[in-house]
């Protein structure tokens, strides 16, 4: 294992190299998005904004709403609909996180106690539902049926992807293709939708809509694969959750699929015991990381992420708007560089 750079230094290096142009580009829009978010978590029922704000204010990057603003800008959109759609996308994401933490029994989220640990599973489920309802209300206000179709479709596909993940959890027979289908659903579908609605509200041709969607889908897959690598990679503070969460929850992710495929029979027995039977002893996470490294599984996962990243960059070819294309290209580097 290499020696990790001190956190602040690493963060500074990463952020100078990648996400800054996007942040700068969408800063005025994101101010309005944040104002909309704050106004739309309001409710006479005090627990609703308490829970929603606990998560929303906990320092997520807000990458998805930034992508909506950027792809709208990419297509020369000049209305106000992008702001509400971006806020809708963030609400959908937040709802997903609230529900995921219940599904996974997670204790932490973004370095803080998960909402369910403070207010209970029930309230987390219900506030997620509230945010979904608010998201659809905002989409209706924007008035684009096509944007509504895209985001409603994403909502269903995300849930399907998560159910698929439950089905493949604890099953070492999961193939790389199975796992990539999970990732396209649970993570990449929302990235794709967030990017696709930009050209849609700008009333651009279908080819540009498809290209923006491709960009988002590929970026989303890359993002998840890097996350999977990081979950075994030791960048705990950066992720805001403990290393080894996926391992403890019996999640079969790409690094594990690769190490299992390449592993000897005694290694496979180890993975089956830990992830299928859920019998995890002290030192097992360290052993898992050793096996992943022995077969280059982390490197292979990151190599896959880079391939999806290259596809995301390629999808931007049809767009002539250089500053936005530059910012979106840099985001790909930011996402794939997180693991280095």
Q: Which one of 67-75, 127-135, 228-236, 270-278 is the stretch in contact with a second copy (CB under 8 A)?
A: 127-135
Give the one residue of 5, 7, 12, 166 binding a second copy; rule: CB under 8 A: 166
> For the chain, first and last CA: distance in Å?
12
Q: Which one of 12-20, 114-122, 198-206, 288-296 is the stretch in contact with a second copy (CB under 8 A)?
A: 114-122
CA distance 315 to 181: 20
Quote the least distance from Cβ 173 to a second copy, whole Å. 15
- Residue 203 has φ and ψ, to the nearest 5°, of 55, 45
Under the binding rule (CB under 8 A), the answer on residue 140 touching a second copy is: yes
Scan residues 244-273 and list those touching a second copy (CB under 8 A). none
Nearer to a second copy, 182 or 291 (CB): 182
Scan residues 43-102 and list those touching a second copy (CB under 8 A). 43-48, 95, 99, 102
Under 8 Å between Cβ of 325 and 74? yes
Under the binding rule (CB under 8 A), the answer on residue 287 touching a second copy is: no
CA distance 251 to 16: 33
Nearer to a second copy, 30 or 142 (CB): 142
Per-residue mark of binding to a second copy, 142-161 (x: CB under 8 A): -x-x--xx--xxxxxxxxx-
Q: Which one of 132-140, 207-215, 226-234, 260-268 is the stretch in contact with a second copy (CB under 8 A)?
A: 132-140
- Exposed, middle or buried, 16 (CB in 10 Å: 0-12/13-18/19+)? exposed
Quote the least distance from Cβ 125 to a second copy, whole Å. 5
Nearer to a second copy, 24 or 80 (CB): 80
Quote the least distance from Cβ 105 to a second copy, whole Å. 8
Nearer to a second copy, 80 or 141 (CB): 141
Under the binding rule (CB under 8 A), the answer on residue 170 touching a second copy is: no
Quote the least distance from Cβ 314 to a second copy, whole Å. 28
Quote the least distance from Cβ 197 to a second copy, whole Å. 13
Under the binding rule (CB under 8 A), the answer on residue 191 touching a second copy is: no
Quote the least distance from Cβ 8 to a second copy, whole Å. 37
User: 113 has which bridge partners?
Assistant: 108
Nearer to a second copy, 133 or 314 (CB): 133
Nearer to a second copy, 36 or 226 (CB): 36
Under the binding rule (CB under 8 A), the answer on residue 118 touching a second copy is: no
Give the one residue of 82, 90, 162, 227 binding a second copy; rule: CB under 8 A: 162
Under the binding rule (CB under 8 A), the answer on residue 30 touching a second copy is: no
Q: Which one of 1-9, 61-69, 135-143, 258-266 is the stretch in contact with a second copy (CB under 8 A)?
A: 135-143
Closest CA to 86 of 156, 35, 24: 35
CA distance 193 to 153: 9
Under 8 Å between Cβ of 98 and 131? yes
Footprint of a second copy (CB under 8 A): 43-48, 95, 99, 102-104, 120-123, 125-127, 129-130, 132-134, 136-137, 139-141, 143, 145, 148-149, 152-160, 162-164, 166-167
């Amino acid at each position: 294992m290499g020696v990790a750079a001190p956190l602040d230094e690493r963060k500074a290096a990463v952020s100078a190299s990648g996400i800054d142009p996007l942040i700068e580009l969408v800063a005025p829009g994101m101010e309005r998005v944040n104002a909309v978010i704050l106004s739309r978590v309001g409710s006479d029922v005090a627990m609703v904004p308490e829970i929603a704000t606990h998560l929303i204010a906990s320092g997520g990057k807000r990458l998805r709403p930034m992508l909506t603003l950027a792809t709208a800008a990419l297509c020369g959109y000049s209305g106000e609909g992008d702001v509400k759609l971006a806020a809708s996308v963030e609400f959908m994401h937040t709802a997903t996180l609230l529900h995921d933490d219940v599904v996974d029994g997670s204790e932490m989220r973004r370095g803080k106690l998960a909402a369910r640990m403070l207010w209970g599973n029930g309230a987390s489920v219900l506030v997620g539902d509230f945010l979904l309802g608010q998201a659809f209300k905002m989409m209706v206000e924007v008035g684009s049926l096509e944007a509504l179709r895209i985001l409603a479709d994403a909502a269903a596909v995300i849930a399907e992807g998560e159910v698929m993940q439950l089905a493949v959890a604890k099953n070492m027979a999961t193939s790389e293709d199975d796992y990539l289908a999970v990732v396209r659903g649970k993570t990449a579908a929302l990235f794709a939708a967030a990017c696709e609605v930009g050209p849609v509200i700008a009333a651009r041709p279908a080819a540009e809509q498809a290209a923006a969607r491709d960009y988002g889908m590929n970026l989303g897959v890359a993002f998840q694969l890097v996350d999977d690598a990081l979950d075994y990679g030791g960048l705990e503070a950066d992720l805001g959750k403990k290393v080894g969460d996926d391992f403890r929850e019996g999640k079969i992710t790409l690094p594990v699929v690769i190490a299992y495929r390449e592993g000897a029979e005694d290694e496979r027995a180890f993975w089956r015991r830990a992830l299928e039977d859920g019998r995890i002893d002290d030192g097992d996470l360290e052993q898992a990381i050793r096996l992943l490294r022995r077969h280059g599984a982390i490197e292979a996962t990151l190599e896959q992420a880079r391939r999806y990243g290259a596809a995301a960059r390629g999808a931007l070819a049809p767009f002539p708007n250089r500053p936005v294309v530059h910012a979106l290209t840099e985001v790909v580097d930011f996402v794939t560089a997180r693991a280095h």
